[in-house]
Amino acid sequence: MGDVMASVSVSVPDEMKRKLEKFDTVNWSAVARKAFESELSKLELMDKLTSKSKATDKDIKELSKKIKAGMTQWHNQMS
């Protein structure tokens, strides 16, 4: 990562800020950077997988509803 770094501000609830300050030896910028990298990798993969998709927003919303309903049903059966 020899690149020049840009600065990004992140807002967190006061309670989280107090907890972060408790562990002052942790490099929270590095932790946040890794989290950003991980999420970006997932989003870039999704873009790549869906870039040629012909599904409409309506199709995606319907599929999302079905997945959520199935996960809820599965979770209720497991409880």
Q: Give the whole-number percent of the chain exceeding pLDDT 70.
A: 97
Name the burial class of residue 63, with classes exposed (0-12), middle (13-18) and buried (19+) by CB atoms within 10 angstroms of its CB: exposed
- Cut 0.85: pTM above it: no
pLDDT for 55: 84
By the 8 A CB rule, do 20 and 28 touch? Answer: yes
Average pLDDT, the chain: 92
Report the distance separating Cα 59 and Cα 50, nearest Å.
13
pLDDT for 53: 83
By the 8 A CB rule, do 20 and 11 touch? Answer: no
Distance of CA 15 to the CA centre of its chain: 21
Instruction: Please report, for the chain, the start and end positions of each structural domain, with discontinuous segments joined by +.
Output: 14-78
By the 8 A CB rule, do 32 and 10 touch? Answer: yes
**Amino acid at site 1:** M
